[in-house]
């Protein structure tokens, strides 16, 4: 379960893969089209797609000789959830800290 967060975050930890995701937000695309603009050989590029797929961030379907790649919405939500949950926690802390700071500033410093 939680293990999946590993795959999701590590899938996102690469600019090639983030670029693929960005491209896919404009709609599904065949592998060869996604490959354009990425300066690497096709098999290398396919490994990236493989990671995105096994992290559940995309799914693919082959028709004829063309494989079309689609974005998957659900898993990113898990990453967002983790981040926002913890961000909330520690920004809460920071808020309390700055409240404390303000409080201290309002104290008569030493005059």
Restricted to residues 40-99, the positions that interact with DNA (CB under 7 A) are: 40-44, 46-48, 51, 62-67
Our CB check for DNA shows the closer of 7 and 72 to be 7
Restricted to residues 62-81, the positions that interact with its own copies (CB under 8 A) are: 71, 73, 76-77, 79-80
Describe the crossing of helices 42-54 and 3-12 by its angle, rounded to 10 degrees.
Answer: 140
Query: What is the rounded CA–CA span in Å between residue 33 and residue 15?
Result: 17
Neighbours of 8 (CB within 10 A): 20
100 touches its own copies by CB under 8 A: no
C-alpha separations of 108 from 92, 97, 98, 102 in Å: 26, 19, 17, 12
93 touches its own copies by CB under 8 A: yes
Residues near DNA (CB under 7 A) are 10, 13-14, 16, 30-33, 35, 39-44, 46-48, 51, 62-67
């Amino acid at each position: 379960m939680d293990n999946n967060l590993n795959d999701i975050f590590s899938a996102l930890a690469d600019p090639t893969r983030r670029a693929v995701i960005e491209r896919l937000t404009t709609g599904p695309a065949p592998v060869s089209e996604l490959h354009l603009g990425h300066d690497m050989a096709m098999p290398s590029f396919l490994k990236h797609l493989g990671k995105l797929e096994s992290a559940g961030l995309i799914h693919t379907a082959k028709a004829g000789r063309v494989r079309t790649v689609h974005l998957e919405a659900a898993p990113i939500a898990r990453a967002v959830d983790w981040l926002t949950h913890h961000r909330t926690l520690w920004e809460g802390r920071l808020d309390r800290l700055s409240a404390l700071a303000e409080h201290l500033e309002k104290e008569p410093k030493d005059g």
